């Protein structure tokens, strides 16, 4: 009889309207590492510092009732002069269960908080893959996803005010 009461209490807690967020899973969707001329590049890099180009893209989509997938794509390109030392690309995703989150807070959560939660794992994978490719580990600095989100909102607002678009503002 006490089991029935405990189950009822648990059910009532779940239906009380509180915001519930959980990470249902994290996974690599795509990973590639290109090392076009390893012997020459490693010799060159012993005397010179490569230039790095890092690109970060986010995408979020609803996968089902209260389930969202957030994709974090990071592309790192190292150049030694005109030559490509390496290109590392990672598409890392998180699956989030989200209940009772107000609609106006959903997009900021998916574009700021969710990537912030999965970024450390993506960072470690890129560090490992560059090290395993024969280079020093790529240690990415933390990313301010909130700042990026607000910059995208500002750019979309300016574009809409300029009359370039009549659509709603959507940040990806």
- CATH number, domain with residue 88: 3.10.420.10
Q: Is residue 13 part of a domain?
A: no
| Region of residue 122 (phi > 0: left; psi between -120 and 50: alpha; otherwise: beta) | alpha
Question: What is the domain range of residue 148?
Answer: 24-161
R_g (Cα) of the chain, nearest Å: 21
138: three-class secondary structure by DSSP: coil
Q: How many domains does the chain have?
A: 1
Q: Is 169 domain-assigned?
A: no
Residue 15 lies in a domain: no
Evaluate whether residue 16 is within a structural domain: no
Residue 8 DSSP label: H
In a domain, 1, yes or no: no
- pLDDT above 80 (res 11): no
Question: How many degrees, rounded to 5, is the angle at CA 169 between CA 167 and CA 171?
Answer: 130
Between 158 and 117, residue with greater pLDDT = 117
Is 169 a residue whose pLDDT tops 50?
A: no
Query: Quick check: is 171 in a domain?
Result: no
Query: What predicted TM-score, i.e. pTM, was given to this entire model?
Result: 0.79
- Is residue 2 domain-resident? no
Find residue 117's DSSP bridge partners. Answer: none
Q: What is the pLDDT of residues 33-88, one digit of tens each?
A: 999 887 777 777 777 788 999 999 999 999 999 999 999 999 999 998 888 999 99
Q: Quickly state the pLDDT bin for 14 (edges 50, 70, 90).
A: low
* 127 within some domain: yes
Angle (nearest 5°) at CA 144 between 134 and 45:
20
pLDDT in tens, 127-166: 999 999 988 899 999 999 999 899 888 888 888 888 755 4
- Residue 24 confidence (pLDDT) above 60: yes
d(CA 19, CA 36): 48
Spell out where 65-82 has E strands.
Answer: 67-80
User: pLDDT tens across 78-98, in order?
Assistant: 998 888 999 999 999 999 999
Give 15's pLDDT tier (boundaries 50, 70, 90): low
């Amino acid at each position: 009889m006490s089991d029935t009461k405990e189950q009822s209490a648990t059910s009532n807690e779940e239906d009380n309207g509180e915001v519930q967020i959980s990470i249902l899973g994290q996974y690599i969707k795509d990973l590639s590492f290109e090392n076009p001329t390893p012997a020459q590049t490693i010799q060159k890099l012993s005397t010179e510092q490569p230039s790095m180009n890092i690109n970060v893209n986010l995408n979020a989509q609803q996968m089902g009732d209260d389930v969202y997938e957030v994709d974090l794509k990071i592309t790192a390109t190292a150049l030694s002069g005109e030559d490509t030392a390496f290109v590392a690309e990672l598409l890392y995703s998180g699956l989030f269960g989200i209940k009772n989150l107000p609609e106006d807070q959903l997009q900021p959560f998916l574009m700021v908080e969710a990537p912030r939660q999965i970024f450390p794992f993506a960072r470690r994978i890129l560090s490992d893959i560059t090290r395993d490719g024969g280079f020093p580990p790529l240690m990415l600095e933390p990313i301010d996803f909130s700042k990026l989100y607000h910059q995208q909102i500002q750019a979309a607002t300016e574009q809409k005010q300029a009359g370039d678009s009549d659509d709603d503002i959507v940040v990806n």
